[in-house]
Copies of this chain bind each other. A is one copy, B any other.
Amino acid sequence: MELLIATHNTHKIEEIQNIIGPDHTVKSLADYDLYDEIIEDGNTFEENALIKAKYCFEKTGIPSLGDDSGMVVEALGGRPGIYSARYAGNHDFDKNIDKVLREMDGEKNRRACFTTVLCFYNGKEYYFHGEMWGKILNTKTGEHGFGYDPVFVPEGENITYAEMSLEDKNKISHRKKAIENFLDYNRIFKIW
């Protein structure tokens, strides 16, 4: 069964393919040259996930999954939140992380939550969540993953997402939980 993931982010595609497994084919926007037209101007993760999924389904007719994810930092009142990928520079995570660390300078409360909202769209819309609480370090550590992974230590762990292999991150991550919720729901409702 084919699923179109509404992203050009090869890290996201790789994570999702790894979680969903080899029985299903995950396609990306690159396979359809669609990305540049998507304008993510929603006010919530939900709205942005829907914008992406709906756009892809309407262009291709293939059931589509929009993933909007980000880092919600308690001491920053929830920022960067839906602006995670463009907090300082568009998909420039060196700059984005640096801005967060600067704003967190001297802050004792390091609590943060990595969040994924998925919207599955096949003419109707369905939403799934995954969250992982953890803490923000003062410096970047680790070479794997993407985004804020080098400064995020999930609860119950003592290394960052970026210090984990893809397989290890995918056992526990916010994105893993969201996709499991989607797959559990699909076992009942056969939406995909």
Contacts and interface: CB of A to CB of B under 8 A. Distances in A.
Contact of A131 (B115, B131, B188, B190): B188
A47 B181 CA distance: 19
A185 B126 contact: no
Contacts of A126: 44, 46, 127
Give this chain's copy count. 2
A128 B125 contact: no
A92 interface: no
Given A78-B190, A190-B78, A185 B46 contact: no
Contacts of A190: 78
Given A129-B181, A131-B184, A184-B131, A124 B189 contact: no
Contact of A189 (B47, B78, B185): B78
Contacts of A189: 72, 78
